[in-house]
A and B are shown apart, each in its own frame.
Chain A
Amino acid sequence: MYEAKEIDYAVPGRLLLEGADLSVRPGRVTALIGPNGAGKSTLLKVLAGELRPRRGRVLVDGRDITALGPARLAQRRAVLPQDVQVAFPFTVAEVAAIGLPPGERAPSRIAEALERVDLAGFRDRPYAALSGGEQQRVQIARALTQLASCAGPGYLLLDEPTSSLDLSHQLMVVDLARQVAREGGGVAAVLHDLNLAAMIADEIVALKNGQIAARGTPAEVLTDAIVADLYAVTARIGSAPPSGPFLLPQAMTRA
């Protein structure tokens, strides 16, 4: 289990997280939802080890991540950050290969990861020449490459993995996350699209003002009352029996 316990995180003059708990369990997908500025990405960054919390601990399989250090932590979890800009003219395959462990060259694993994100023919293209959505998929491939070389089933942290993707590739991300979970990995994903969150997640954690506002299965969290409280909208949540709750934008108004 990959868990953040009682996290406080502050920037000068503002508390961004207050007593936030998050558990990412092997074999399960957890979606983080909430309004802009609620602390979703901050919580994911604390979990990734990128930000040091003012209070609280982050444990991966029972060990504190600060004690693990960057190299060994990288063997336990892979991260897809928001908005990655690549400084030099690397090719697609070279960017994906940055996810490989030190000293390893595995062209077949890179090819496989690129195939999984629908970029099979792109390996020698310059990364900078790709569209935003294609670049995001290269970064997903890089994270998958790193995850594949983790010791045992690892954890995958995704910060708005679908923000630049078209409809079909948004569904691709859902499938990839579910597949990682099926193979025993744990996934945490920050998502804005509540329908995607409902499709991808075993558990949804809702944040508001740096605190956990609700957690539970999609059906438990995506209710008229909770969504109204989180986003200050009045919404009528529908339900389709096999796939759970859904929201129609047409059935919402700003409160």
Chain B
Amino acid sequence: MEARTGRTARERRARLGLLACAALALVATLASLAVGPVTIPVEHVLAILWRAVGGSAAGAEIGLRETVVVLDIRLPRTLLGLMVGAATATAGAVMQGIFRNPLADPGLIGVSSGAALAAVLWIVLAAPLAAALPLALGSFGLPASAFAGALMVTMVLHVVATRDGRTSVATLLFAGIAFGAMAGAGTGIMLFVASDQQLRDFTFWTFGSLGGATWAKLTAAAPFVLVLLALAPPLARALDALALGEAAAFHVGIDVERVKRLAIAGVAAGAGAAVAAAGVIGFVGLVVPHLLRLLIGPGHRLLLPASALAGGALLLGADLVARTIAAPAELPLGIVTAAIGAPFFLWLLLRRRAELFG
């Protein structure tokens, strides 16, 4: 009884917000499957999905072309978008919790660039090695090395920017910019020496794209994203407590070092896999958790799942814009997210200037 009567207006609103995020993700998924060069009615999309999972074939007559477009072209792309968006936004929320700072976004502080460099290094240098490996194993090499790159940058950043349990925003951002620039330069050099077959193009790694989504790519990235999505919810209480500082978190029973290790591993896995599959897509990890904190509050128990859902929805929405606005050409996805995210970032800086930089 206590639990029911004790719920505050804020908690009720937070629950509604989580539901709204789920609805948004569903709508974005259907839109992503339905909209494109060939527009397919939503009821056809639903029927095709239903039949694909073994449902009865009764109902409307649906052409083979529509079935192929939905199942072979748009479904992998849509699922990849959901996964990349969920991973990026959740990684952002977790990282912000650990660094106790709303500006800690994997894209902004160089973690994604580190992942991209490691991914490109893998493709260019380890290609002969990968060819020797069994195909199934070789396909995990790319997300695994992106994970390693992300992990390295995150750990170094943590050491550089955190003193006595407090993270200096200025150090974090500047070190992040430096890492991002170094990794970007490294990626540029590798792309310069790489053959066309090894790499599609520079824009993919620096601006990101969901183009070229395949089931193989999806299955290679999925385990890494699942690591993050599985690690995050059990950390919710610890992240709430960490908002009070590392000492206070320890006082209420949090094993701070263990939590930080888990969170950093999860962030690197999720951000790394997202970069390996879709290149560097900025600002999703910054914008989504921040807006959700305004909507449902900062409690991580709801913030983390809501971030995953809304991140997936936002990325699919941005992808929809990227592939329709200049059709038949396709804009790089990261340009769309930057166009939304960069002004938002500026606004965030201006609004919080005083408390961030004193």
* Interface, chain A (partner B; CB < 8 A): 45, 48-50, 69-75, 78-79, 81, 84-91, 93-95, 98-99, 101-103, 105-108, 123-124, 142, 146
Q: Is B255's beta carbon under 8 Å from chain A? A: yes
A98 and B244 contacting across the interface, CB-CB below 8 Å: yes
Q: Which residues of A contact B100 (CB under 8 A)?
A: 87
CB-contacts of B1-43 with A (<8 A): 2-3, 5-10
A89 CA / B352 CA spacing, docked (Å): 12
B253 adjacent to A74 (CB under 8 Å): yes
Contact in complex: B244, A124 (CB < 8 Å):
no
Chain A residues in 8 Å Cβ range of B6: 105-108
Q: B299 at interface (Cβ–Cβ under 8 A)?
A: yes
Tell whether B101 is near chain A: CB-to-CB under 8 Å: yes
- Determine the distance from Cα of A49 to Cα of B293 in the docked complex, in whole angstroms: 32
Interchain CB contact under 8 A, B244 and A107: no
Sample of 9 A–B contacts (CB below 8 Å): A70-B253, A71-B255, A81-B251, A84-B245, A93-B8, A94-B240, A98-B241, A107-B2, A146-B252
Interface of A: prevailing SS: loop
A106 to B255, CA, bound (A): 23
CB atoms of B9 and A74 under 8 A apart: no
Interface string of B241-253 (1 = CB under 8 A from A): 1111101101111
Does chain A have a CB within 8 A of B298?
yes
Q: Which residues of A contact B298 (CB under 8 A)?
A: 88-90, 94
Report if A86-B251 is in contact (Cβ < 8 Å); known contacts: A108-B2, A124-B8, A124-B10.
no
Asked if residues B248 and A70 are in contact (CB atoms below 8 Å), the reply is no
Residues in chain B near residue A86, CB distance under 8 A: 243-244
A90–B251 CB distance below 8 A: no
Interface residues of B in 86-117 (CB under 8 A from A): 100-102
CB distance from A19 to the nearest CB of B (A): 25
A120–B209 Cα distance when bound, in Å, is 52
B9 CB contacts on chain A under 8 angstroms = 124
A78 touches B297 (CB 8 A): no
Closest residue to A83 on the B side, CB-wise? B245
Is B8 a contact partner of A89 (Cβ separation < 8 A)?
no
User: Which of A69, A71, A94 sits near B297, CB closer than 8 Å?
Assistant: A94
* Alpha-carbon separation in the docked complex, A42 to B30 (Å): 59
| A88-B298, A91-B10, A98-B244 known; A78-B251 Cβ under 8 A | yes
Measured between alpha carbons, how far is A105 from B241 in the docked complex, in Å? 15
B250 and A50 within 8 A (CB): yes
Q: Does B152 contact A (CB under 8 A)?
A: no
- Are the C-beta atoms of B8 and A84 separated by less than 8 Å? no
Asked if residues B2 and A74 are in contact (CB atoms below 8 Å), the reply is no
- Bound CA span A83–B235, Å: 25
When C-beta atoms are compared, the residue in chain A nearest to B101 turns out to be A87
Least distance between B195 CB and chain A CB atoms (Å): 47
**B102 with A74: CB separation less than 8 A:** no
When the two chains form the complex, which single residue of A99, A108, A124 contacts B252, counting CB atoms closer than 8 Å? Answer: A99
**Once the chains bind, are A81 and B2 in contact (CB under 8 Å)?**
no
B238-295: which residues lie under 8 A (CB-CB) from chain A?
Answer: 240-245, 247-248, 250-256, 293
Interchain CB contact under 8 A, B250 and A70: yes
The reply to whether the CB of B237 lies closer than 8 angstroms to some CB of chain A is yes
Contacts of A88 in B (CB 8 A): 102, 243, 293, 298
- How many angstroms between the C-alpha atoms of A95 and B299 in the bound complex? 10
Q: Which of B237, B247, B248, B254 has the most CB atoms of chain A within a 10 A radius of its CB?
A: B248
By beta carbon, the residue of chain A nearest B241 is A98
